[in-house]
Structure 1
């Protein structure tokens, strides 16, 4: 048991005999714990930096005194798991303050110990004969340990590290600018704290803590035309060896290279790369998250339900293909997400930044898609999106993923207190439809736009509309289905073919043989030309993901994004049934296409003089129906958090809807549309739209059933055929075709909540909020993310302040109720405003009495007596 430390606080240690008694008890404890002849000297002169024998250390302590902040004897054998220290009799001062200080120190030491587990015993046993210079990690460990013990100023109860981390945490939560944080530090240091306080003077100097915590990023220059990276063998080049473009920015007037104030030249493009290995290691080194990283092991449901990607066939197939990887549940499964965003709000400037985000799927389902569980892997700079050349920027990540697969990285597991070789694998990508083409290499435009059907995509070009339409969904029906012979209702042909068959991975790799090592560049003079007509397919490149040894064995390599599919389908449905100009698919050109195809003669355009007249269609509202539909959405009341206020998007006077966001479309398509049209439109149109709505409602459930998904997979072709029978061909763009594949992807990948873009879009909105300097948006995001990442890691340990991990929910309900009232009146919850008091009417009193008599257990004994 640790002896009392009260002697350390004695001011007049020279004349107080109890100080010498405390020194002797400390020395007895230290030599007993360490079992060595030499220990570190904690006197004010040596500050644990020098070793000495017992008598030497004793004399130093009596002469120079002890470092008062060294209350946790880490270098002398004390560990956090030990029993509490002995307390001397008598007045021990303010217990609450002492307990708070001890909690602060424990929080800081918890962070340090988890970050540098290999250094926990450094210096605990040393002799003069075997002293060694500390390595880099040990030096950082000692620096952090010193910061966790040094007071902000002499006599302060809080350490320098605690105060600094708390201020940085508040800065992150409050979204302070760097300048405002520097101003606060300057005010505290100059005007509030005593002279000689050791707080840093600026934000830049306080960032040293982040570096010691092991969080950083790399900057790699890139060709302005996205041809190459200036790294490895190209690191010293001054110009691109493919297109010849200069690596450096130049003055437009005189052509001279631009330089910073320190004389360094300024690159035209710079990728900011956040290494993956140290971030994965921290998940295991952190005692708060290490045990969560094996949550998925043994969690696969055997009742046919799916709640997590571990329940999907893709996860199971990967385990079967790679049993060695699957044998250790600590190996990490990752998802990769990417999309571009405009960093400047309300700006006409065309600018696109592309973040690459990684998501570990090992953790519990409620934490999986939280922002604290996402890693920013890289920031691809603007002002233009990378296009197919995104593979050039993905090189560092792919190289690191290959190393994590083949070799791994030695990692300390705080849950088992053992080192192990950590490995990781990429399961799939998450992206919208244009980004799907960039990452997969299959163009999502043209007559072969479907990346699932590939060469067997069924489409036709509309002569008047000038666009591809994707009909012929009756080919997915059973071969004996009567609709296969119905020419008039569909595209005018008898369907004798079966559904498209998925291409095998061998066939895909064979098609991609001639696309290896092609030049991906924005410079058209050097970019490799690809002709889809000559090739007979839509491949633009062989994706860089195929460099991963296991990628070809992945069952689901790229996910179709349900979020954007719902958004586009909802826009098409609402635009057509409400006849919204610019969004409706029912145009004069589409009516001419109907006439050329010989379909639905009642809808063919009629020429009246020099103009064409369009007969009313069964799939559009009449004016009264349109007004009724708008009033329904305008007056709708929903629970808090169910959706945004959709009424803001509805103009009931003009019967118009505009400005719907993706989630608004999600709510309307799945929940509101069936209610709003229940007595509108014709039965055929209403039935088809309600079935489409039901499909997405069941698909987006948080708990999926495999049998239900198989039923959805067989039902969606019928639903799309019903839509084909009433809507014009122009209605069926590629987005209306993609639902045919969604149920099968859910069987492979699990619930869509882990594979759609909603959490990614929210994360990118957060990245956008980091921008302070519009001249350097990428640098602003990188620095803001680094600070956020550092605080997220540290705040897991900081229970004494409000953090993202312990703050109350926005709609927090007090579940304790009120002990001083009857249980039937003691409900959980809290008021949203001031209470108002009034007398109950007689009818209300009678209702309350009846309710009490029927529901209150405390009344039952009295009722029995009466009876």
Structure 2
């Protein structure tokens, strides 16, 4: 069959499969969970059911038993028999991933014109997983097969980016957030987002055709390896490549629900964690050492704030230079490695890139821990991560439309830094309407000294008192 005809047939089959999936979803939307039900369609019930499973990490077996109980209690309800059937329905709402075979030596990808090759073009490594043929006098390597097909030695999982970005603009719940970087104003002149930094401004000035279109997306890329099997003595690692849309506002940008998993790279084997670690008893540090460490800690505390005043960056630079000079008089020369010297350039990084927390790896490390939780089948860790991510991705999208249920979108965050629109009053400068109260309410009487300190604080920080002070 000619190559063009094979391509046309393949495209036609994909279109037919897509149409069949859409018709199935439409039927699920229209059909009721049971005769006379007006609250839940079959699809809405399955979405909420599977959402609870993914959010709280309930096992497939437990959810299947719950389905059995519901079918037994409500005989007329149209419920699937297993979680596998639920997953097949839910996955039709999402965007699939693509598997691409790779060379075991990381030389090439078997795609495009090289899709049908069986050996690496550079070093001749076999594309397939090999095993030694038993009973042969000569050492023969034969491909490992499953269902009559050879198994690839290494497989890259790619999650298409463009349809995921398109979905951000198509969804009414996220379409306004994606335009925040252009439409929102920085009224206080603080560095709260990468768009307030010099690198973003220089990029917009250099590429005006790109920056003038509000719909263009700026992405940050992060990657790190982790042991997906949960056993540090096992020599295996996976390297996910994660994209972060910087168009989103600060209170959404660095949450894991906004991350886009781009690729899952099967990394090299890692050395086992076989080094014994001995903890020695600590002694109290001398006052001279503890003071300079406290000064350095205060520098990092100011540098890593959620919002930074650009006018204070020069003072921060002088702060860290003087601190390092004090450390040179205390610690030996061997202490001053390149990492210690690197602290002198952190202020410049903030000037160029904006607040630190948009580029550090803490949320990525937490996200890697979340990806590790997806591994249920240790024989196929990459497949488990891909399946878990695709399920959670579509359920995160669907949960934006769920009401009266706890979801990852509406649950309160650990830190509430989203600004609240309030009527302007004279006390806003002292008590800004950002954050949330923690703990129980308690009442106590102020001492005379505490009342004097509170009075002084009002005189110094309240704008309404300034005219009287002057």
Shorter-chain TM-score range: 0.7 to 0.9
SS of 2:218's equivalent in the other structure is: strand
Which residue of 1 is the match for residue 143 of structure 2? Answer: 257
Which residue of 1 is the match for residue 119 of structure 2? Answer: 239
Give the drift of 1:135. 7.7
Give the drift of 1:705. 1.7
Q: TM-score, normalised to structure 1's length?
A: 0.43
> How far apart are the structure 1 equivalents of 2:357 and 2:414?
22
> How far apart are the structure 2 equivalents of 1:753 and 1:265?
45
Give the drift of 1:377. 0.7
Which residue of 1 is the match for residue 224 of structure 2? Answer: 339
Native 8 Å contact 2:242 2:261 kept in 1: yes
Instruction: Give deviations 1:166-210, integer Å, cap 9, x for gaps.
Output: 111011012123344344434544x33426x54333333323333
> How far apart are the structure 1 equivalents of 2:415 and 2:357?
22
Deviates more, 1:153-162 or 1:770-779: 153-162
Give the drift of 1:149. 2.0
Structure 1 gap ranges (5+): 1-133, 386-580, 584-650, 658-675, 813-827, 833-843, 852-867
Which residue of 2 is the match for residue 548 of structure 1? Answer: none
Native 8 Å contact 1:304 1:707 kept in 2: no
Instruction: Give deviations 1:281-333, integer Å, cap 9, x for gaps.
Output: 11111111111111111445375421111100011011001111111222111
Native 8 Å contact 2:94 2:393 kept in 1: no
Which residue of 2 is the match for residue 146 of structure 1? Answer: 27
* Mapped pair 1:285 → 2:167: no
> How far apart are the structure 2 equivalents of 1:785 and 1:582?
35
Work out which of the residue numbers 282, 287, 297 in structure 2 matches 1:656.
282
1:810/1:365 CA distance change after superposition, 3 Å: closer
> How far apart are the structure 1 equivalents of 2:320 and 2:412?
42
SS of 1:332's equivalent in the other structure is: coil
Which residue of 2 is the match for residue 276 of structure 1? Answer: 161
> How far apart are the structure 2 equivalents of 1:142 and 1:735?
58
Which residue of 2 is the match for residue 463 of structure 1? Answer: none
> How far apart are the structure 1 equivalents of 2:161 and 2:350?
28
Give the drift of 1:719. 2.4
Which residue of 2 is the match for residue 681 of structure 1? Answer: 287
Q: TM-score, normalised to structure 2's length?
A: 0.77
Instruction: Give deviations 1:564-597, integer Å, cap 9, x for gaps.
Output: xxxxxxxxxxxxxxxxx989xxxxxxxxxxxxxx
Give the drift of 1:737. 1.4
SS of 2:240's equivalent in the other structure is: strand
Work out which of the residue numbers 189, 199, 215 in structure 2 matches 1:330.
215
Which residue of 1 is the match for residue 315 of structure 2? Answer: 711
1:176/1:252 CA distance change after superposition, 3 Å: farther
Instruction: Give deviations 1:615-642, integer Å, cap 9, x for gaps.
Output: xxxxxxxxxxxxxxxxxxxxxxxxxxxx
1:755/1:155 CA distance change after superposition, 3 Å: same
Name the structure, 1 or 2, with higher relative contact order (CA <8 Å, separation 6+). Answer: 2
1:721/1:808 CA distance change after superposition, 3 Å: closer
* Mapped pair 1:370 → 2:255: yes
Give the drift of 1:778. 1.0
SS of 1:319's equivalent in the other structure is: helix
SS of 1:256's equivalent in the other structure is: strand
Native 8 Å contact 2:225 2:267 kept in 1: no
Give the drift of 1:258. 1.3
* Mapped pair 1:320 → 2:205: yes
> How far apart are the structure 1 equivalents of 2:316 and 2:35?
70
SS of 1:356's equivalent in the other structure is: strand
* Mapped pair 1:725 → 2:329: yes
Native 8 Å contact 2:376 2:384 kept in 1: yes
Which of 1 and 2 has greater Rg?
1
SS of 1:335's equivalent in the other structure is: strand
Which residue of 2 is the match for residue 406 of structure 1? Answer: none
Structure 2 gap ranges (5+): 1-14, 135-140, 271-275, 417-436, 452-470
CA RMSD of aligned residues (A): 3.2
SS of 2:143's equivalent in the other structure is: coil
Which residue of 2 is the match for residue 163 of structure 1? Answer: 45
> 1:390-789 residue pairs with structure 2 within 5 A?
655-656=281-282, 680-682=286-288, 685-686=289-290, 688-789=292-393
Instruction: Give deviations 1:125-166, integer Å, cap 9, x for gaps.
Output: xxxxxxxxx987665444323212202233344221011111
Instruction: Give deviations 1:728-782, integer Å, cap 9, x for gaps.
Output: 1221122111112110010011110111111111111111111111111111111
* Mapped pair 1:804 → 2:438: no
Which residue of 1 is the match for residue 73 of structure 2? Answer: 192
Native 8 Å contact 2:103 2:153 kept in 1: yes
Native 8 Å contact 2:316 2:347 kept in 1: yes
> How far apart are the structure 2 equivalents of 1:774 and 1:277?
31
> How far apart are the structure 2 equivalents of 1:376 and 1:811?
24
Give the drift of 1:215. 1.7
> How far apart are the structure 2 equivalents of 1:215 and 1:151?
25
1:345/1:208 CA distance change after superposition, 3 Å: closer
Native 8 Å contact 2:91 2:391 kept in 1: no
Give the drift of 1:365. 0.7
> How far apart are the structure 2 equivalents of 1:384 and 1:771?
18
Give the drift of 1:656. 3.2
Work out which of the residue numbers 49, 58, 67 in structure 2 matches 1:176.
58
> How far apart are the structure 1 equivalents of 2:148 and 2:83?
24
Native 8 Å contact 1:299 1:310 kept in 2: no
Instruction: Give deviations 1:338-370, integer Å, cap 9, x for gaps.
Output: 111112224311221111000001111111101
SS of 1:295's equivalent in the other structure is: helix
